[in-house]
Amino acid sequence: METVVSGIRSTGNLHLGNYFGALKNFLRMQHENHCYFFIADYHSLTTHPTPEDLHGSSKQVLVEYLAAGLDPEIVTIYMQSDIPEIPELYLLLNMNAYKGELERCTSFKEKIRNQTENINAGLLTYPVLMAADVLIHRATKVPVGKDQEQHLEMMRTFVARFNRMYKTEYFPEPLAYNFGEQLIKIPGLDGSGKMGKSEGNGIFLADDPAAIRKKVMRAVTDSGPLTPGQEMSEPVRNLFTIMQVVSTPETISHFREKFDHAEIRYGDLKQQLAEDIIAFTSPIREKILQISADNNYLKKVARQGAEKARESASKTIREVRQIIGFKSF
């Protein structure tokens, strides 16, 4: 079994695209590896420094991952800010991360372009904190998307430098956990591109049936096929793609045939799609409501997760301090 660490950005509600992307992989991974999943609330501070943003969205993310099926008895789920060993390792790694390489990082360059009024040191050292998240458990696998690959590369640079500097093989070089072809990209409802959080484009796991019906009925289509065998436009293809994950094969082939014979009524297709989405998300939504109201349970999960994570984290810190040469008097 390999040790896997992943940080979950606390940006609030999950949509179907998140579910069939990262989340579904997490659900499968939890049985096959030794997993640490945490809410990256320290990282959130680099862009969202106020308390209003922080707690609510962190809680919501925890609730939704649990509701979707992450099992806290199997994986270690915790808040990054509950593990003081992470900032300690971050400090130590910072001594050994160079300004030049941090400034060359693409995500930093993007941030200084878009967040000109708050270019803080946390942004610059974001990849170091991320390395600390992973190295604190000496993990070997990190499930991340393409956008995080450079951060992973920097992590390996820090590891190689640390090991060289202290003549050790203490830290393994973590690799990306790639799902590539198994990933289904869920398109949005606005006609092009993947599902996102913009108004009306995404179906959230927490959406109630009325909201789902409204969004689906308003999804972009076209004026309909005029002749049998006509090619499908992107917006219509997108609705069929969503069907792939929520509807039965019979439903899909029924509407596919209607389309091919140029007899389709998009209103019927949308009505069916909305009901199938509702059938899929309803049990998750019910769990979201139930878990969200159960603060004692959430407290217990967070406390248990922090305890387990700190067991592994404090061992690492003890050993790293020894390697670096701190001794008590």
Positions annotated as catalytic residues are 111, 194, 197
d(C-alpha 143, C-alpha 311), whole Å: 22
| Nearest by Cα to 236 from 218, 228, 224 | 224
Q: How far apart are CA 53 and CA 280, in angstroms?
A: 29
Of 144 and 278, CB closest to ligand TRP: 144
CA–CA separation, 195 vs 187, rounded Å? 5
Cα-to-chain-centroid distance, residue 313 = 22
Nearer to ligand TRP among residue 11 and residue 271 (C-beta): 11
CB of 98 to ligand TRP, least distance (A): 20
Return the SS3 of 196: coil
What residues contact residue 101 under an 8 Å CB cut-off, 6+ apart?
154, 157
**Residue whose token pair is 């792939």:** 244
Q: Are 13 and 62 in contact (CB under 8 A)?
A: no
Please state the closest distance from residue 141 (CB atom) to ligand TRP, in A: 10
Nearest approach in angstroms of CB 18 to ligand TRP is 11
Contacts of 128 (CB under 8 A, 6+ apart): 90, 93, 94, 97, 102, 158
Q: Least CB distance from residue 244 to ligand TRP, whole Å?
A: 26
The answer to whether the beta carbons of residues 235 and 221 sit under 8 Å apart is: yes
Alpha carbons 51 and 10: distance in angstroms, whole number? 13
Whose Cβ is closer to ligand TRP: residue 15's or residue 285's? 15
In the complex with ligand TRP, the residue whose CB is nearer, 144 or 309, is: 144
The residue at minimum Cβ distance from ligand TRP is 7
Q: Which is nearer to ligand TRP, 28 or 299 (CB)?
A: 28
Strand partners, 35: 4
The smaller minimum CB distance to ligand TRP, of residues 4 and 216, is found at: 4
The residue (of 8 and 264) whose beta carbon lies closer to ligand TRP is 8
Where along the sequence are the contacts to ligand TRP (CB under 6 A)? 5-7, 9, 40, 43, 130, 133-134, 142, 144, 148
Residue that has been written with the tokens 């962190």 in this structure: 58
DSSP 202: -
Nearest-approach distance from CB 156 to ligand TRP, in angstroms: 13
Rounded to a whole number of angstroms, the minimum distance from the CB of residue 129 to ligand TRP is 7
- What is the edge-to-edge ordering of all strands in the sheet holding 141-142? 76-79, 34-39, 3-8, 141-142, 175-176
- Least Cβ distance, residue 104 to ligand TRP (angstroms): 17
The CA distance from 94 to 125, in Å, is 8
- Number of other residues whose CB lies within 10 A of the CB of residue 247: 22
Q: How far apart are CA 21 and CA 120, in angstroms?
A: 31
